[in-house]
Amino acid sequence: MYGRDMDFLLKNEDDFTAFDRMKFEAMRYTMSKLPRPARRKLLHSRPAQYEMTACYAGKTEPVHAKIVEKGFQQYAIPIRGQCRHSDHRNSGHLAVQRLFDS
């Protein structure tokens, strides 16, 4: 989501390296000195580190189906054989829960 210069924003502060802490404090100090419109413009003018993957228009259901298909193409990983997990009944739920807990 962010480039290397702002990737510390994706981390928990407890996991900051010394360099991450320095970047965070420098950004916090700078932002505290800027007026709100300037802070907003600075953060909103950052280019995204990703590109649009699909754009469809039309009726909701057919468009939704195409978008979901494109999402599977983007994120699905082809594997051979069976994918194993220690608790296969709740593996998806646990993975999502870990994302929100961290």
Question: Nearest to residue 67, comparing CAs of 93, 96, 75?
Answer: 75
pLDDT reported for residue 74: 82
Helix, strand, coil % in the chain, rounded to nearest 5:
60, 0, 40
Please tell me the predicted confidence (pLDDT) of residue 86.
Answer: 52
Nearest to 42 by CA among 50, 52, 32, 55: 32
**What is the DSSP secondary-structure string of 17-65?**
-HHHHHHHHHHHHHHHHS-HHHHHHHHHTSPPSS-------S-HHHHHH
Q: What is the pTM of this model?
A: 0.48
Instruction: Return per-residue pLDDT of the chain as tens, 102 residues.
Output: 677 778 888 888 888 899 999 999 998 999 899 999 999 998 888 777 778 888 999 999 999 999 988 888 888 777 777 766 554 444 444 444 444 444
pLDDT for 50:
76
